[in-house]
Amino acid sequence: MSAKTKNSQPSIDELKARILRARLEMTATVDEASDRVNPKVQVAKAKASAQLKAKHFTDDLKAGKPGPIAVVAGGLALIGGGIALAVLSARR
């Protein structure tokens, strides 16, 4: 139960606790917003995500799973098709 004065107002200790709690919440909110708009933080997150995806991709490729092989084959087919179109267009 909280200690209240006769006027049913919060005590000084309760007010200090509320202020401290509000400060901590505001600090966390500001820090989170700062991370969202900080380019260095965003680059670091993107880099970590790309490294993780590349690791999964190479692990799957080494394990012989068909997903990465299909991606590589599709990319090579797309490049080959683009070269073929460029050659054919240049002949006309």
DSSP 19: H
Measured over the CA atoms of residue 85, residue 87, residue 88 and residue 90, the dihedral's sign is: positive
User: How many Å apart are CA 11 and CA 3, to the nearest integer?
Assistant: 6
pLDDT of residue 86: 92
pTM of the model: 0.46
Domains of the chain by residue range: 12-91
Q: Which tops the pLDDT comparison, 91 or 84?
A: 84
pLDDT digits (tens, 9 = 90+) for 2-56: 555 466 899 999 999 999 999 999 999 999 999 889 999 999 999 999 999 999 8
Q: The dihedral of CA 45, 48, 51, 56: what is its sign? A: negative
